[in-house]
Structure 1
Amino acid sequence: MRIVHFGHACVLLDTGSARLLVDPGGFSTGFETVQRLDAILVTHQHPDHLDLERLPALLAANPGARLLADHASAELITARGLACQSVRPGDVVHVNDSHVQVVGGDHAVIHPDIPMIPNVGFLIDHGAFLHPGDSFTRPPGRIDVLGVPTGAPWLKVSEAVDYLRAVRPRVAVPIHEAVLANPQMHYGLFEKLAPEGTTVRVLPRNEQVEL
């Protein structure tokens, strides 16, 4: 299997029989020019995994590509007038001769006050590659290559290490790393979840600020 990582959660998988693009989101770049796709797979609706603004052009450039997404993302996509197949854990989809098994079900907990959303993982060709989305989904069997989440508001590095040890892939490919260089996501959570009366103030570097 040949893999291209377009940053963060977006990867292109060439299985030899199908070209699959997973999670074309807002923190990823370079996937916009990809052509000859057989399918586009979306794990969940968060903008860093699903860029609804760039998706129409990607589909237009790949008119033969099937679009598969969890049911909540599929609703958002079809509301834009785009064709999308909703998938749920347990589903199996064949793209040419490639076997795509849908696993998982729920997004990892970010904070108890934030509602849970659906999240599916995609297990390609009976364990050749696993993309878990935003979760620590345990696969049903052996995994050759694992896309291992690296940094996220829902993730501690110790948990990622434990997940890596539990899955025991032949190769681990770090993904979901962009938040380590883009702290705005974390700042936004502080602002959203801060107690009443607390203001979150991000200070500019090397400047004196009176508070």
Structure 2
Amino acid sequence: MKLTHYGHACVLMELPGDGGVIRLLFDPGAYSREFEDQVGIDAVLLTHAHPDHVDAERLGTLLAANPQAELVLNAHTRTALAGLLDIAPSRTRIVGPEDTFVLRGVSVEVVGGDHACIHAALPTVPNNGYIIDGSLLHPGDALDVAPGPVEVLLLPVGGPWMKIGEAIDYLRTTAPRLAVPIHQAGLALVHQKMHYGLLRDLAPEGTEITVLEHGVPQDVRDAAVSSSHNEGDRR
């Protein structure tokens, strides 16, 4: 399994599938960069409709360059994109919590339900989390507990809907082999580094925290990355 972080919640996952490597791109949003240059994408998975998770204009560019790619999203996000993005129904897969499907031999399980609460005065939106191949979880903007163990957790570390203590508790509850911090673009660099340090200090035994260097593919299947390769350590 290889992961490439394009900033914030946007992550490219590459893993073996039917006929070769399958490439799945999560949440290409407004705070992310350089994802639109990718080709050979099999599916783009959107967790919810907020612009930091889906930039309609650049998503359109990406899909035009990847005519074989499916767009996987919930009904609310599809409605929100209407008028901004013209996608053929044959390329669109509408899914919600408890749905499961297979992409080129790779299983996808949809979990979650709603975006975490920002404030009671604001409406919430539906949020899909995705478990890929039974091993990796991208939770979107929620900290819903996975129905079973996961090997790799893409862990949100900052946002108006959360505090770092909640991320630490979620990490301890999920207890993956590897946690990769995401959803960090709204934090100042000093706070990113502080949050990463707290996660490392308070992670459960057996969990490694790895901060991926922007745009650099990293094999995370067989072994945790040495801290000398972590973007946060180099900074």
Q: TM-score, normalised by structure 2?
A: 0.75
**Shift of residue 117 of structure 1?**
0.5
**Kindly, what percent of the aligned residue pairs are identical?**
49
Mapped pair 1:119 → 2:127: yes
Mapped pair 1:26 → 2:30: yes
SS in 2 for 1:58: helix
**Shift of residue 74 of structure 1?**
1.3
**Shift of residue 78 of structure 1?**
4.2
Who is 2:172 aligned against? 165
SS in 2 for 1:130: strand
Amino acid in structure 1 at the alignment position of 2:23: R
Who is 2:69 aligned against? 65
Amino acid in structure 2 at the alignment position of 1:77: L
**Shift of residue 76 of structure 1?**
2.5
Who is 1:8 aligned against? 8
CA contact (8 A) 1:12 1:19 kept: yes
CA contact (8 A) 1:74 1:85 kept: no
Question: Which of the numbers 120, 127, 143 marks the counterpart of 1:136?
Answer: 143
The higher-RCO structure (CA 8 Å, 6+ apart) is 2
For residues 96 and 113 of structure 1, the distance between their equivalents in structure 2, rounded to whole angstroms, comes to 42
Question: Which of the numbers 29, 37, 40 marks the counterpart of 2:41?
Answer: 37
For residues 63 and 4 of structure 1, the distance between their equivalents in structure 2, rounded to whole angstroms, comes to 21
For residues 46 and 162 of structure 2, the distance between their equivalents in structure 1, rounded to whole angstroms, comes to 20
How many residue pairs are counted as aligned between the two chains? 181
Question: Which of the numbers 78, 87, 92 marks the counterpart of 2:95?
Answer: 87
Mapped pair 1:104 → 2:112: yes
Q: Choose 88-97 or 106-115, whichever is displaced more.
A: 88-97
SS in 2 for 1:139: coil
For residues 181 and 47 of structure 1, the distance between their equivalents in structure 2, rounded to whole angstroms, comes to 20
| Aligned pairs for 1:148-187 within 5 A | 148-181=155-188
SS in 2 for 1:165: helix
* Structure of larger gyration radius: 1
**Shift of residue 162 of structure 1?**
0.2
Structure 2: unaligned runs, 5 residues or longer = 190-235
For residues 156 and 78 of structure 1, the distance between their equivalents in structure 2, rounded to whole angstroms, comes to 33
For residues 26 and 81 of structure 1, the distance between their equivalents in structure 2, rounded to whole angstroms, comes to 18
**Shift of residue 181 of structure 1?**
3.0
Find runs of 4+ consecutive structure 1 residues off by over 3 angstroms: none
Who is 2:212 aligned against? none
**Shift of residue 15 of structure 1?**
1.3
Structure 1: unaligned runs, 5 residues or longer = 183-211
Q: TM-score, normalised by structure 1?
A: 0.83
SS in 2 for 1:37: coil
For residues 116 and 27 of structure 1, the distance between their equivalents in structure 2, rounded to whole angstroms, comes to 21
For residues 146 and 35 of structure 2, the distance between their equivalents in structure 1, rounded to whole angstroms, comes to 27
For residues 144 and 7 of structure 2, the distance between their equivalents in structure 1, rounded to whole angstroms, comes to 21
**Shift of residue 177 of structure 1?**
0.2
SS in 2 for 1:177: coil
**Shift of residue 77 of structure 1?**
2.9
